[in-house]
Structure 1
Amino acid sequence: MQRINIAEMPPHDRAIDITGETCPMTFVRTRLALDSLPEGAILLVRLTGTDPRANVPRAAADQGHDLLDMFDLDDGSAVLVIRKGTA
């Protein structure tokens, strides 16, 4: 398993790993994390799979959050960078 150096990640307020989850729990966990943050905070979400890569960003945007970036890691997972909006 690849170790991720958190110091190499974008500046953030919280990070979660939902690579072990399946839809719809991927967005449930993301939403709970966003709900716990103040407006403007940055959440990193590590995810994997076709459905989470499509559904989590779309659902976060539908909830009024800003999608800042998504980048791939060497192990096939991705990191989604979300700024909490005024949802």
Structure 2
Amino acid sequence: MGGDMNAYYDFITSLRQKTITPYFLALKSLANLYIIESATDIKSLIHDLERYHGLMRIEDLFEFAACRSDWPVIKKVVQKDMTDCCIM
């Protein structure tokens, strides 16, 4: 999958359409949610919003991550700290 995404990225950049390149970069980063195996790394990827060029929200990324076949196993680690509440 990673090699395919790089080939698509090369094609997109060859079009020299600056308006679509950020969208494809966000899509390429999103594909990493399905390649990475470590739940901790997935959590970091979801929270690194700069990777998505402001085109995706954390909520969107969690929806995509929930489509993983191992979601029931990794969900607790990935969502850790998301539901913690701190009252000051």
**Shorter-chain TM-score category?**
0.3 to 0.5
With structure 2 as the length reference, what TM-score do the two structures score? Answer: 0.34
With structure 1 as the length reference, what TM-score do the two structures score? Answer: 0.34
Structure with higher helix content? 2
Structure with higher strand content? 1
Question: Considering only CA atoms, is the larger Rg found in Structure 1 or Structure 2?
Answer: 2
